[in-house]
């Protein structure tokens, strides 16, 4: 492979987008450090991908583990060229006043605090080498409000603006920063985690043809393999069966 960036750390590689991204990047010739909480899934991924995947258990809410990450990586894997900030979750679809405080805290801890802290841990190396790329998963929920998105959508709006500000800080460095913001995407555990019930989760995709994790992996691969002088700032993507639905009016 001639691509200058070789080692990619993908957070949340045990399922959904992260799993698909890891497998696709291995096919493209990258080496992948695959992280998440479920060790057996990481081990299975590594077995499937051979020596190109390093399974590394990392809970994004464990700030000490994130801080220790650069030194905790084994020899030969310490230079992380690309960070894919993918781990994240939504919990619940209740109205703001009906939600559980612990759910809000978990979303903020994972989608916001964990994401910024792992970026803080890995960015100095990229800047010192003057080469690197941070790719973060936002969401259309960060731009378009909908009932029940309350804190989840806000965490994704945070990701958008954090990444824009990162781009500003990185001006003059050969380190790229990209947000990919998908809309409705099936084939992952997202809705099951959010709704806690398989039937309800399946119903989210009834009579639709949603995006699939492989579509996200394709997009990550494209932004990553562009020539080093090209920075894709943001991509918003939806399936053709989805569009924004306009403003709501109360007529009661």
Site string for ligand NDP, 77-116 (x = CB under 6 A): ---------xxxx--------------------x------
Return the H-helix or E-strand segment holding 85: strand 82-85
Collect all residues with Cβ–Cβ distance below 8 Å to 235 and sequence separation of at least 6. 178, 179, 180, 181, 219, 223
Interface with ligand 8X3, residue 11, by CB under 6 A: no
Task: Give the nearest distance from C-beta 46 to ligand NDP in angstroms.
Answer: 14
Q: For this structure, is 152 an active site residue? A: yes
Question: Of residues 5, 30, 33, 36, which one binds ligand NDP by CB under 6 A?
Answer: 36
Interface with ligand 8X3, residue 141, by CB under 6 A: yes
With respect to ligand NDP, which residue has the nearer C-beta, 132 or 142? 142
Return the H-helix or E-strand segment holding 148: none
Considering only residues 147-176, where is the footprint of ligand NDP by CB under 6 A?
A: none
Burial 128-151 (b: 16+ CB within 10 A, else e): eeebbbbbbbbbbbbbbeeebbbb
Interface with ligand 8X3, residue 12, by CB under 6 A: no
Task: Give the nearest distance from C-beta 82 to ligand 8X3 in angstroms.
Answer: 22
Q: Do 11 and 33 form a contact (C-beta atoms < 8 A)?
A: no
Task: Give the nearest distance from C-beta 2 to ligand 8X3 in angstroms.
Answer: 34
Interface with ligand 8X3, residue 211, by CB under 6 A: no
If we measure between CA atoms, which residue out of 22, 71, 81 comes closest to residue 47?
Answer: 22
Three-class secondary structure of residue 134 per DSSP: strand
Task: Give the nearest distance from C-beta 48 to ligand 8X3 in angstroms.
Answer: 26
Question: Of residues 5, 7, 8, 18, which one binds ligand NDP by CB under 6 A?
Answer: 18
Collect all residues with Cβ–Cβ distance below 8 Å to 146 and sequence separation of at least 6. 153
Interface with ligand 8X3, residue 136, by CB under 6 A: no
Considering only residues 219-238, where is the footprint of ligand NDP by CB under 6 A?
A: none
Q: Do 165 and 136 form a contact (C-beta atoms < 8 A)?
A: no
Distance separating alpha carbons of residues 191 and 122, to the nearest angstrom: 30
Query: From the candidates 144, 146, 152, 205, which is the catalytic residue?
Result: 152
Task: Give the nearest distance from C-beta 16 to ligand NDP in angstroms.
Answer: 2
The catalytic site residues sit at: 152
């Amino acid at each position: 492979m001639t691509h200058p960036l070789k080692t990619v750390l993908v957070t949340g590689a045990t399922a959904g987008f992260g799993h698909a991204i890891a497998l696709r990047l291995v096919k493209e010739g990258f080496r992948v450090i695959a992280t998440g909480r479920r060790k057996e899934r990481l081990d299975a991924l590594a077995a499937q991908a051979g020596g190109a995947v390093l399974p590394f258990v990392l809970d994004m809410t464990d700030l000490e583990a994130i801080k220790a990450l650069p030194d905790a990586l084994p020899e030969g894997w310490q230079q992380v060229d690309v960070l894919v900030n993918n781990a994240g979750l939504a919990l619940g679809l209740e109205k703001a006043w009906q939600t559980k405080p612990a759910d809000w805290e978990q979303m903020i801890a994972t989608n916001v605090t964990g994401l910024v802290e792992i970026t803080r841990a890995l960015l100095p190396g990229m800047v010192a080498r003057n080469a690197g790329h941070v790719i973060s998963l936002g969401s259309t929920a960060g731009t378009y409000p909908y009932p029940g998105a309350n804190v989840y959508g806000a965490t994704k709006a945070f990701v958008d603006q954090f990444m824009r500000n990162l781009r500003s800080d990185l001006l003059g460095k050969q380190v790229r920063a990209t947000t990919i913001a998908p809309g409705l995407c099936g084939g992952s555990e997202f809705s099951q985690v959010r709704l806690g019930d398989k039937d309800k989760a399946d119903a989210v995709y009834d009579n639709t043809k949603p995006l699939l994790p492989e579509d996200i992996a394709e997009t990550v691969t494209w932004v990553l393999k562009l020539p080093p002088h090209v920075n894709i700032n943001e991509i918003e993507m939806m399936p053709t069966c989805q569009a924004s639905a306009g403003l709501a009016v109360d007529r009661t």
